[in-house]
A and B are shown apart, each in its own frame.
Chain A
Amino acid sequence: MRPRWHRAAGLALRVLWVVVKLTLVAALLNRNAANFVYAGF
């Protein structure tokens, strides 16, 4: 059986990944940010 801290760390990482994805989505929905990011191309 997995130790408790192992499970908690897994859940915390998953929450962090969800936050990262939502931040990226919010950034791309902001047209100025999208323009800034893709102006480099």
Chain B
Amino acid sequence: MKSDKEDEYIKAFYENRKTKNFTILGIIIFLVVLFFFITILRMDITG
């Protein structure tokens, strides 16, 4: 039988994990965009 405290911990844990996963996803997307921009700028397509 789980106590209320345990339930709260579990709920908070899943919330934290979700936030963390989204943060990591955000960082990965940011890096993809960053490397894309670096490539474009280094190509000097603007002349």
* A and B held together in a complex: no
- The residues of A with any CB-CB pair to B shorter than 8 Å are none
Residues of B within 8 A of A (CB): none
